[in-house]
Amino acid sequence: MTTRRNVLTRSAAALGAASTGLFLPELARAQSDKVRVGFMLPYTGTYAQLGVSIEKGFLMALNEQGGKLGGKEVEFFKVDDESNPAKGVENANLLVQRDKVDVLVGTVHSGVQMGIHKVARESGVLSLIPNAGVQVATRAQCAPNVYRTSFSNSQPTLALGKAMMDRGHKKAVWITWNYSAGAEALEGFEAGYTAAGGTIIEKLAVPFPSVEFQALLTQIAALKPDAVACFFAGGGAAKFLRDFHAAGLSKTIQLYGSGFLTEGVLEAAGPAAEGVLTTMHYSDSLDTPRNKKFRLDYVKAFKAQPDVYSVQGYDAGQLLVIGANAVKGDLSNKSALYAAMNGVTIDSPRGKWTMSAAHNPIQDMYLREVVKGENKVIGIAGKAVADSGAGCRMG
């Protein structure tokens, strides 16, 4: 796996057009009259596609402002975090200490996020989390300079259990990757499913990012549950869907998951994804003028279909635009910046959502089914779902 650390001084439009395939050599530090934005995202590995979607979504929000933030030009820096938690602090410091970014945008993987979080809390640099759901970031370790525009890991799965019990699926096996995102997704699933009367008969896990599912699929077949519920995402999710189907399990066992299971992978999964039920704060098929316009504009700009990760990146961009406009691009004016961002309601393609006091979205959850290669909304699984924010005391 190659690590590419890139320093870019380009407009949002140029960066977007070039996608992630083209990199400029390291350039001299820019003048301080520009806003310095650092992307720390996975551009390689099982979560690569997620990082690319987040970046595109974020750029789209800036491009809607003529590529500016609070009237100032924007300069971009980026680091491939490889979804490697061991390098989280080091990589975040490249952006904060070396590149002196004004804002960190990242990341996808919860373990890597903890590295960014440490650096953000110590340096005070503005940190926008466009995916990673690690709960402590908006619970006991919440911070005035850290805002999440995605979800906490237990939010999407909290609403899953009731949908399963409504379909008479009373005995389930849980399966995931063995790291914090999987453990916290289980926390939400277990709370919702047991409250609705369901029983988890087995909890299974493989190390991240392993896609060696065969032994566990054999175990699931022997357990004969009514349903399987899971957290997987990116390339690993597509492989899990294909292996579950190839093992013949989809004939007798209903597969459920948090919506990451079927986001951005439907082409790769093919018929294996048909009929899979998930809960998520977005769906491609949301029939609203806001979502339709977003999708059209995104396809026009990037020649690619958006997914939930694009939406989360776009909303991180929208949040930053609101903050930057309030301080005319001077992100060092922290009190005015945070005042503009706190409690804000974001008009998102997913539907309007509100920033909680702990800086995590309060948002609706949709129940979706994969029908003919699309995530179709078939109901609302939860209205205004909020994370507990337990232990959060804003300093």
Shortest distance, position 133 Cβ to ligand BEZ, whole Å: 4
Shortest distance, position 233 Cβ to ligand BEZ, whole Å: 4
| The one among 174, 260, 298, 353 contacting ligand BEZ by CB under 6 A | 260
Max Cα–Cα distance, the chain, nearest Å: 63
Shortest distance, position 274 Cβ to ligand BEZ, whole Å: 22
Cβ–Cβ under 8 Å, residues 33 and 15 = no
Comparison of 322 and 386: residue with beta carbon closer to ligand BEZ: 386
Q: What is the 3-state secondary structure (H, E, C) of 73-112?
A: CEEEEEEECCCCHHHHHHHHHHHHHHCCCCEEECCCCHHH
CB 300: neighbour CB atoms within 10 A?
Answer: 9
Q: How far is CA 220 from CA 175, 203, 211, in A?
A: 9, 10, 16
First to last CA, the chain: 40
CB 360: neighbour CB atoms within 10 A?
Answer: 29
Comparison of 63 and 150: residue with beta carbon closer to ligand BEZ: 150
Q: How far is CA 101 from CA 18, 46, 96, 98, 332, in A?
A: 21, 27, 5, 8, 11
| The one among 109, 239, 350, 359 contacting ligand BEZ by CB under 6 A | 109
Apex CA 146: angle with CA 354 and CA 61, to 5°? 60
CB 22: neighbour CB atoms within 10 A?
Answer: 12
| The one among 110, 310, 356, 363 contacting ligand BEZ by CB under 6 A | 110
Cβ–Cβ under 8 Å, residues 279 and 159 = yes
Q: Which two tokens stand for residue 296?
A: 């059209």
User: Does the protein bind ligand BEZ through residue 367 (CB under 6 A)?
Assistant: no
What is the pattern of x (binds ligand BEZ, CB under 6 A) and - over residues 64-103? Answer: ----------------------------------------
Rg (CA), the chain: 20
Rounded CA separation 99/79 (Å): 11
Comparison of 338 and 353: residue with beta carbon closer to ligand BEZ: 353
Q: Which helix (H) or strand (E) holds 4?
A: none
What is the pattern of x (binds ligand BEZ, CB under 6 A) and - over residues 186-225? Answer: ----------------------------------------
Comparison of 50 and 320: residue with beta carbon closer to ligand BEZ: 50
User: Does the protein bind ligand BEZ through residue 262 (CB under 6 A)?
Assistant: no
One-letter amino acid at 16 equals G
Cβ–Cβ under 8 Å, residues 106 and 129 = yes
Which residues partner with 345 through β-bridges? 354
Comparison of 44 and 325: residue with beta carbon closer to ligand BEZ: 44
| The one among 145, 153, 157, 375 contacting ligand BEZ by CB under 6 A | 153
Site for ligand BEZ in 114-133 (CB under 6 A): 131-133
Shortest distance, position 282 Cβ to ligand BEZ, whole Å: 12
User: Does the protein bind ligand BEZ through residue 36 (CB under 6 A)?
Assistant: no
Q: How many residues of this chain bind ligand BEZ (CB under 6 A)?
A: 11
Q: Which residue is nearest to ligand BEZ (CB)?
A: 181
Shortest distance, position 153 Cβ to ligand BEZ, whole Å: 6
User: Does the protein bind ligand BEZ through residue 233 (CB under 6 A)?
Assistant: yes
CB 354: neighbour CB atoms within 10 A?
Answer: 13
User: Does the protein bind ligand BEZ through residue 181 (CB under 6 A)?
Assistant: yes
Rounded CA separation 234/263 (Å): 8
Comparison of 260 and 282: residue with beta carbon closer to ligand BEZ: 260
Rounded CA separation 330/336 (Å): 10
Candidate ranges 105-113, 240-248, 318-326, 372-380; the one touching ligand BEZ (CB under 6 A): 105-113
| The one among 60, 108, 206, 269 contacting ligand BEZ by CB under 6 A | 108
Shortest distance, position 134 Cβ to ligand BEZ, whole Å: 6
In the numeric block, the tokens 């924007």 are attached to 74
Comparison of 20 and 153: residue with beta carbon closer to ligand BEZ: 153
Shortest distance, position 181 Cβ to ligand BEZ, whole Å: 3
| Interface residues toward ligand BEZ, by CB under 6 A | 108-110, 131-134, 153, 181, 233, 260
